[in-house]
């Protein structure tokens, strides 16, 4: 059955746009080429900027025929690479495509200068080593990005002009798709580095808070772990309630929920006796101080909401804004339960910690008053199962 090359090219172009991983993209192209054109094997020599070389990292086709991955690593001065980088194929064959049969014919005709003849001889030697009969370059902005290497057709016939034109057009589309995929991956990597830097900075900030307030030592880590476990349970119960972005914001908010304590005097934070009304009011300022500190960071809007409102209560007796019921954001409600549970089960200078079971009963008793019923229910389930 004849191949509809135009349709196959359009399908390939559409598929390429959707793939953002260079390796997966090339594997998909190679698999399609091998299957559609009935080729024994196909490979790609892709330029690796870190190694400053073209590496055969993707190969497909018959196990007994395909070129082993890692078999070839060619630098920019290699004969095969130089042949296409200098566009010698256009000079010799009036086309970007090099075929083994065409190269052999040109050498037999003895119509080349000494330099080109020597270079072409080296190229033929190399493509034979790679068991290749067709080489098709893929250029991006006039730079050689990769080489598509094709083995023989399974029926033993020569490639026809229509097939070669299809591969050339495919290689052209492939260059743009590969470069887009590489840029996407580079962007992901850069974002990941920035995220790691931010998280390290956040942890350093948490350490600064803990150094200022003896009580918060270990508290932040525990509250973060409790909060994430509660959120996971809520997600299991209702997937629409929690998404990946929410989890990320909750992670940051729970880590930084006490960041505002940086603005509270140490003598109040570490006071060993019961706090006065004025001192309690100063401590109550910490959620608002924390939100103010982080406000310039636009990316943390949802996290800031959790930090600002984690002491609000459904009965409206919380602070700083006296929000009620559903007015309180879920992210804040989760941190509220996690924070209270750890506070109840931790020794303070002026009181001993409650037993775990007592703290659980107290949180359950205060459901709908101090704590969100939805969050309380998830928390109680996790406690009963021994997760918390």
Cβ-proximal residues to 253 (8 Å cutoff; 6+ apart), any chain: 227, 302, 303, 304, 305, 306, 307, 310, 331, 335
Homologous superfamily of 213-384 in CATH? Hypothetical protein af1432 (1.10.3210.10)
Q: What is the pLDDT of residue 271?
A: 76
Residue 284 is given by DSSP the state T
| CA atoms within 13 Å, Cβ hemisphere of 75 | 2
Angle at 207 between CA 206 and CA 210, to 5 degrees: 90
State yes or no: pLDDT of 8 exceeds 90: no
CA–CA distance, 320 with 337 (Å, rounded to integer) = 17
Q: What is the mean pLDDT of residues 167-192?
A: 75
Per-residue pLDDT band for 70 (boundaries 50, 70, 90) equals low
Q: What is the pLDDT of residue 214?
A: 63
User: Per residue in 266-297, pLDDT tens?
Assistant: 777 777 778 888 888 888 999 998 898 888 88
Q: Where are the domains of the chain?
A: 5-185, 213-384
**Sheet of 98-99, strand order:** 73-75, 53-61, 41-48, 143-150, 134-140, 98-99
User: Per residue in 233-273, pLDDT tens?
Assistant: 999 988 888 998 999 899 999 988 988 887 777 777 777 77
Q: What is the mean pLDDT of residues 339-365?
A: 86
Question: Residue with structure tokens 């989760």?
Answer: 334
CB contact at 8 A, 95 and 89 = yes
> Mean pLDDT score of the chain, rounded to an integer?
84
Per-residue pLDDT band for 359 (boundaries 50, 70, 90) equals very high
The structure tokens listed for 125 are 């030697």
For residues 369 and 50, the model is more confident at 369
DSSP output for 268-309: HHT-SSPPPHHHHHHHTTHHHHHHHHHTT-GGGHHHHHHHHH
- Give yes or no on whether 5-185 and 213-384 have one common fold: no
Per-residue pLDDT band for 67 (boundaries 50, 70, 90) equals low
Q: What is the mean pLDDT of residues 212-232?
A: 83
CB-based contacts of 118-121 (< 8 A; 24+ apart in sequence): 119/79, 119/82, 119/83, 119/88, 120/83, 120/88, 120/92
State yes or no: pLDDT of 313 exceeds 80: yes
State yes or no: pLDDT of 124 exceeds 50: yes
Beta bridge partners of 53: 48, 75
Percent of the chain with pLDDT over 90: 29
State yes or no: pLDDT of 117 exceeds 80: yes
Q: What is the pLDDT of residue 296?
A: 82
Task: Name the pTM for this structure.
Answer: 0.55
Per-residue pLDDT band for 1 (boundaries 50, 70, 90) equals very low
Most confident range, picked from 15-19, 89-93, 146-150, 303-307: 303-307
CA–CA distance, 343 with 77 (Å, rounded to integer) = 67
Q: What is the mean pLDDT of residues 106-127?
A: 85
The structure tokens listed for 63 are 């196990």
- CATH class of this structure's domain 5-185: alpha beta
Question: Residue with structure tokens 């406690």?
Answer: 383
User: Per residue in 371-380, pLDDT tens?
Assistant: 999 999 999 9
């Amino acid at each position: 059955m004849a191949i509809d090359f135009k349709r196959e090219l359009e399908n390939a172009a559409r598929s390429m746009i959707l793939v953002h991983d260079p390796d997966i993209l090339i594997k998909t192209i190679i698999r399609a080429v091998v299957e559609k054109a009935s080729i024994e094997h196909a490979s790609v020599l892709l330029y690796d900027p870190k190694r400053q070389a073209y590496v055969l990292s993707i190969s497909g086709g018959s196990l007994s025929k395909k070129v082993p991955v890692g078999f070839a690593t060619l630098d920019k001065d290699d004969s095969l690479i130089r042949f296409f980088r200098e566009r010698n194929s256009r000079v010799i064959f009036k086309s970007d495509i090099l075929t083994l049969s065409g190269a052999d014919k040109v050498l037999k005709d003895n119509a080349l200068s000494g330099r080109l003849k020597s270079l072409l001889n080296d190229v033929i030697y190399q493509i034979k080593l790679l068991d290749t009969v067709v080489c098709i370059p893929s250029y991006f902005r006039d730079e050689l990005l990769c080489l598509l290497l094709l083995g023989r057709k399974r029926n033993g016939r020569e490639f026809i002009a229509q097939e070669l034109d299809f591969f050339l057009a495919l290689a052209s589309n492939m260059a743009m798709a590969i470069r887009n995929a590489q840029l996407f991956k580079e962007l992901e990597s850069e974002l990941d580095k920035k995220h790691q830097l931010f998280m390290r900075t956040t942890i350093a900030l948490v350490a600064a808070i803990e150094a200022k307030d003896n009580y918060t030592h270990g508290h932040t880590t525990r509250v973060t772990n409790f909060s994430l476990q509660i959120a996971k349970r809520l997600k299991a119960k209702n997937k629409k309630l929690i998404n990946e972005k929410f989890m990320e914001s909750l992670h940051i908010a729970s880590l930084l929920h006490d960041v505002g304590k940086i603005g509270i005097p140490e003598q109040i934070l570490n006071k060993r006796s019961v706090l006065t009304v004025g001192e309690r009011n100063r401590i109550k300022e910490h959620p608002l101080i924390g939100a103010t500190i982080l406000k310039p960071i636009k990316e943390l809007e949802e996290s800031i909401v959790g930090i600002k409102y984690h002491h609000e209560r459904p009965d409206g007796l919380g602070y700083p804004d006296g929000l009620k019921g559903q007015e309180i954001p879920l992210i804040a409600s989760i941190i509220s339960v996690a924070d209270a549970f750890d506070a109840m089960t931790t020794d303070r200078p002026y009181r001993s910690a409650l037993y775990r079971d007592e703290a659980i009963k107290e949180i359950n008793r205060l459901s709908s008053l101090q704590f969100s019923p939805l969050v309380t229910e998830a928390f109680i389930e996790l406690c009963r199962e021994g997760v918390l």
